[in-house]
Structure formats: C-alpha cells, structure tokens
Structure 1
C-alpha cells in the first residue's frame, strides 16, 4: 500500500534532507547578517531658503536649487528682512544631498523613495502656533539624469496639499522651538531618475491660509529609500528560489497525476500555496532597472497579501485535515473550513482596501496620504492595530489546533502496542516525523506573524510620528523569506505520493493487519492511504 514520502522515506535519507534544508536556512540568515547591508537608508536634508523674485509664481519651468549653475539666492529667515514676503520664499531640497567634488546619485536598485517633512518653528509671543493648525503646502517635484545639465530640471509632479501641523512647546521663550510632529509628504514607487528636486512654497492666497503656523525658521525633509545593496541580495535570493519552487511544483503535480485518483484537498492546497510562493518569488524588480514602474510598491503589497492569505489558509486546513477521523468514504472540501477561511479572507480584503486607498491613489498623486486628516489617521491606525491583533489571535488559534492534533496523535498511539512489530515501528516513525513537522510549522507561523506585525509598525512609524526604535535587520528579512521557501519546499517533497510499498505481512494474517490498519486509519495517512485501503478491502472481499 502506498502513502506519502514522509511515511515511507528511510531514516537516513530523511536525515540527509533535513540537514540540507537546515543548512540552507542557516545560509539565508548568514547572507542577511554578513553580506546584505541594512534594508533602508535614511537621510535628513535641510532645505535651502530661496528668494523668488519672479512675477509669475506658478511658473513650473523655473526651479530653485542650492548647488550647480544658476543656484538660488539664499535668504536667512532668522534675520528681519523687509524686502522679502511669504510669497517670495521657496524651500529647495536636492535629493540626494549634493556634495562638493563627489558624484552621488540615486540608483534604480534603490527601488522607492519616501519623503517626510519636519518644520522648525520658533516661539514668538505674538505669533503662537495654534494646536492642530492646518498648513497648506504647494509642493513641486522635479528630476534630471546624469547626462542632463545642472539646470535642466523637468517637472515630475506637483500638488497643493493640506496637512495638520501638531505642535507643542515646553518653555515659552524666544530661544526655544516648538516640538512639531512629522508630516508625511510624498511616496514614489520607483527611483527611475538619478536626481530629484523638491520645491516647497507656503501660499497665502486667502487671509486664513497659513495664518496660524507661527514663524518658520527651517524645513527638513527626511527621505527613506531601500538600500541598493540589500535589493541585490534580495533579488539574488529570488532568482535562486524561483526556479527551485517551480521545479518542485512540476515534480509534485506529476506524482499526483500518476495515481489512479483525483487530488485530495491537502494536495490541492499545497499546489495553491506553491503557486502563491512562485508569484511572490518572481523577480519582477529586474524590470525596474529598465522601465519606470511606479506601481511596483502596490504590486509588491498585493503579492505579499496573496501569499499571506494562502499561507494562513493552508495552515488551518493542514492542521484540520490531520485532526479529522473520518470514514474511508469521507472526502474533505473547502466548505468544511468556510468559517476559518472567511475570517482570513475578510482580514486580507480589508488590508487590500486600505492599501488601495493610499498607494493606489499615489500612482496618480505621490503627495497624497491617508494620514493627513484625523479621520484618515484614526482609520489607518485602526487597520494596523486590528491587523496586529488578528494575526496574534490567529497564531493562538493555530496553536490550539496543533494541540488538538497532538491529542489525536496520543489517542491513536494507544493502539500501537497491539500491532505487529513492523507496523508498530512504521507508525512510531510516522508519529515522530509528524510531530517534528508540526513544531516546524509553529516556528514558521510565529516568525511570519512577528514579521508581519513588525512590518506594519515599521512602515507606519514615520507616518503616525512615533519614535519607535526598530532594528529591523537584513538577517531577519532574508531568514524569514528563506524559511518560507524551505518550509514549502519540504512540504511539497514530504507530502508527495510515494511509490514505495511496505510489506503488510509480518508472520500474521492479512485479516489482523487489515483490522490494525482500519483502527489506525485516522492518522496520518490522509486520504491517499484511505483510497488505497478501500481498494484493499474490496480486493479482500472478492477473494
């Protein structure tokens, strides 16, 4: 009678396979810890205060920058100047920061760029900043490449945005600055060009516009981009894992079709999980080296969301299938798990809608942010908090299911002493292997949940203005990513149908073996052995 490879693989071969997979896992952690740099770079840029003497303030062909030919005429806002009004002030930011005698530019390997605005406001008794004032920003973003002249800036995008300026001060004296919150400014889904230039104006088109924001002394823009060295390591891992998972998927499905039965639920879920992992592994990022693809951030979120949904659904079915004790004629289906899968689907759909509300709109307007209003901020924080709580509850529920599975194992193990020696050793080996696999599943689930929660916190900390110190190292990124591939690879190998047949006769009658097999059929041979058992019963009846 046939079963799965995990049941029939010899101990020596299984030890070699597990050792190889553990070495691959250690290698993934070492690559992240020893080879890859930090995942993201953070650079603080002080804005150059320029004086705009032109009559046409809306001219998008005129740009102000602090380095290069035709740089702007700088102004010191700390001095009292009667020849400069608010309409004439332009804050210029060149990204990256230009350095004398050095050529430093952005690389397409750096993938994306996020800008966060910080404003220094000095205290004046006659110009106090009101709590939660509204600041109107006229932001214009330009770009140029290495082959372009220093003055040849081209318009990338522009927008007039309103942001909430939340400031407070401890000591109200002229020498102190307000403590103001960070303001999310823009987010680019690709870094296709070499240099970027940001010009910010504070318009006063109406009497109430920017009337309660105090005396601004300086502006800072914090830019965050993915590290190019980390991207190279990350894509190298994808390039290696992508064909490996495709190859093992083809091998797995061929072994399924060699059997004289239809695939069972667990095998279908394994195939779906493998396809979702291939979608995640596909190195689409190589296309950004040649083309400007601002939707890559959104596509990456969708790919990760599809993988999370499939992985979380698989774990529920994986534990549930090994917990069921069914008749030989019973067949599992997704309908039996509709409650669990509905909860996972609702969570993933909610996160997808939230992501589309921000990054979907940013494809048209990079200066848009859902965090700019109280309603949007509360809604975004609610989504993130609920996502963290939901994943924590999911992990606890998965632990409960695994505990139920172990109870089922203990109940089945009580029948081992009554079996013949060959069968007892066979099933004891299966029990130990299955327990090890379930513990590996729990470890994988724990690291996945931790990574998901930390990812949500790390992405939102600049936007909700919380000073959270997160050392989100490259080793954790590459280790968890490698763990997903190694774990799913091992499942596809171990749960593929085996073509070996182990003996059913150990100096005992076929009737005794058959009764033992019926007594133990609920664990863990699954429906692959149940179908074989049905054929064996039919054959015995005919004989």
Structure 2
C-alpha cells in the first residue's frame, strides 16, 4: 500500500517511538540541569604594576606578577612619582590563571575584557572623545619553570566612555569615574596551561598619545572561559546523539526502500 512511513506504522509502534523520543528529551534536560555546570566562568584579575628597569628597550622581557622571578613592583603611582619612575617604565602584568591553577583545552575559548579605574583630578581630567593607546603583549608556557613564548603583540586604541556622577571641583578629587568595560582580546582555543599579559600605556605629549585620559589608578582584566565540566557533558551528549541519529536515518531509509513505490522528493 502506497503512503507515508508513519501511516504504515501500527499504533503500538508509533506510541513506542513517541514515548522514546520524549524520554530522550526529558533525559537531555535533566543532564543539562542536574549534571552540567554553568556554561561559562568569569574571573577578575587586578593587574600588578611592574617597573621596567632594563636599559635596552628593544629587549623582549616578560614581567611576572608573582613567583621566584617576579618583577619589581610598586603599589601606587604616588610611589612611582616619589621614586622618579616614568609612566613609560610601568608595565601592568596579569598572569592567567591565578597562582596554583592552570588552564585547559576543555575551556574551549578565552575572552578578556579590560576595565580601567580612573580617578578624577582637577588638573588631569578625561577629555571628550578620549582615546587610550595600549601596548599589549601575550605569552604562554606549559611548565612553571620554562621560558615564556610570545604569542601576540599589538598596539591597540580604545575609546574611553566614562562619566562622573559628582560635581567637578576640588572636593571631588580622588573620586572614581564610572567607565564602560572595553573589549580587549579573544583566544580561540585554550591550548596552553599558563598565559601572561603585559600592558604598557605609552605617553608621548608631542604626539598626544595617552594625553587627556585622566589619572589611571588600576587596570582590571575579566577573563571569561567555558567551563571544562560543561564542555565534557556537551561533548558526551553529542557523542551519544550523533550515532543515534545515524541509526534512525538508516532505519528510516530501509523502510523507504521496502515500499513498492519509489520514494518521493520530501522523503529523500
């Protein structure tokens, strides 16, 4: 008898197929809700202010915020002024992940957002349309005692979008601007265990580089990556469902070929 596959199935078989599909759907929801962790994790890193004491600025040197070979640090820019350290000699260093942790390829990707803490100063306010120029370099390694390998280096410009909720007078000095987070970088695959970010804010008054951006107090990096546990559950479900779909397709095509008429376009 010519007709669609579903029309030739008995009521019992149709009920079995429908109930099986509903059970698989319910099981998938339960796995996602009860077993799998949250899809992503966001970690806030406070950059360490390192002092670049190298005389040859052409050398490639990496500044570590902690560990046996950690950099020479300062806590505030007032300390830098007291020690006569120029802004061009300050490097903001961030190690990803935190001490005692390591990254994993199960994290899939790493998205990093930049956040400035900028203080209000009467003599150094943020100008309209202010643009910050950052000299950023990224390195990686897979062992705590190996040398850092450069992964990327770039000069980037970002528009500052900040507002000040107080009156701009002497009484409001050292209050903080409210600045929007800035896109910083994205790593498409987390193939290494440790990453090191070094950020410089070069100042050049003649070329108007990083002039009129206010007094930067601190730099925060927010790292967002996919949770390894979520990736494993997701991968396991895909591994299970892909062969199941193939088996269903083979069964369906076998039923099609057993019919006395040739298959129609929609069935193909």
Q: If the length of structure 1 is used for normalisation, what is the TM-score?
A: 0.46
Relative contact order higher in (CA < 8 Å, ≥ 6 apart): 2
Aligned residues, how many? 261
Q: Supply the distance in 2 between the matched residues of 1:254 and 1:165 (Cα, whole angstroms).
A: 63
2:32 corresponds in structure 1 to: 32
SS at match of 1:238: helix
Flag the structure with larger Rg: 1
CA contact (8 A) 1:132 1:165 kept: yes
> Residue 70 of structure 1: CA displacement?
1.4
CA contact (8 A) 2:49 2:92 kept: yes
SS at match of 2:232: helix
Q: Supply the distance in 1 between the matched residues of 2:130 and 2:265 (Cα, whole angstroms).
A: 57
1:167 corresponds in structure 2 to: 162
Q: Supply the distance in 1 between the matched residues of 2:262 and 2:130 (Cα, whole angstroms).
A: 65
Q: Supply the distance in 2 between the matched residues of 1:69 and 1:263 (Cα, whole angstroms).
A: 72
Q: Could you list the runs of 4 or more consecutive aligned residues of structure 1 that deviate by over 6 angstroms after TM superposition?
A: none
Q: Supply the distance in 2 between the matched residues of 1:78 and 1:201 (Cα, whole angstroms).
A: 14
Higher helix share: 1
Could you report, residue by residue, the CA deviation over 1:218-248 in whole angstroms, capped at 9, with x for unpaired residues?
0000000000000000000011011111222
* Superposed counterparts of 1:403-442, under 5 Å: none
For structure 2, list consecutive stretches of 5 or more residues without a partner in the other structure: none
SS at match of 1:79: helix
1:439 corresponds in structure 2 to: none
CA contact (8 A) 2:2 2:260 kept: no
SS at match of 1:84: coil
1:221 corresponds in structure 2 to: 221
The answer to whether the aligner puts 1:111 opposite 2:108 as a matched pair is yes
Q: Supply the distance in 1 between the matched residues of 2:238 and 2:116 (Cα, whole angstroms).
A: 40
1:93 corresponds in structure 2 to: 94
Q: Supply the distance in 2 between the matched residues of 1:59 and 1:213 (Cα, whole angstroms).
A: 28
> Residue 34 of structure 1: CA displacement?
0.8
Q: Supply the distance in 1 between the matched residues of 2:263 and 2:138 (Cα, whole angstroms).
A: 55
SS at match of 2:78: coil
CA contact (8 A) 1:49 1:89 kept: yes
* Superposed counterparts of 1:506-525, under 5 Å: none
CA contact (8 A) 1:42 1:224 kept: yes
For structure 1, list consecutive stretches of 5 or more residues without a partner in the other structure: 269-543
Change in Cα spacing, 1:36 to 1:108, as seen in structure 2 (3 Å) is same
Q: Supply the distance in 2 between the matched residues of 1:252 and 1:15 (Cα, whole angstroms).
A: 17
Moved more, 114-123 or 162-171: 162-171
CA contact (8 A) 1:167 1:181 kept: yes
> Residue 54 of structure 1: CA displacement?
1.1
Q: Supply the distance in 2 between the matched residues of 1:222 and 1:48 (Cα, whole angstroms).
A: 14
SS at match of 1:19: helix
CA contact (8 A) 1:131 1:168 kept: no
* Superposed counterparts of 1:365-384, under 5 Å: none
Q: Supply the distance in 2 between the matched residues of 1:264 and 1:132 (Cα, whole angstroms).
A: 63
1:308 corresponds in structure 2 to: none
For the aligned residues, what is the CA RMSD?
1.7
Q: If the length of structure 2 is used for normalisation, what is the TM-score?
A: 0.91
Change in Cα spacing, 1:22 to 1:140, as seen in structure 2 (3 Å) is same
> Residue 176 of structure 1: CA displacement?
1.1
CA contact (8 A) 2:121 2:174 kept: no
2:139 corresponds in structure 1 to: 142
Could you report, residue by residue, the CA deviation over 1:76-106 in whole angstroms, capped at 9, with x for unpaired residues?
23425141111101000000111xxxx3101
> Residue 16 of structure 1: CA displacement?
1.9
> Residue 202 of structure 1: CA displacement?
0.9
Change in Cα spacing, 1:249 to 1:208, as seen in structure 2 (3 Å) is same
Change in Cα spacing, 1:252 to 1:58, as seen in structure 2 (3 Å) is farther
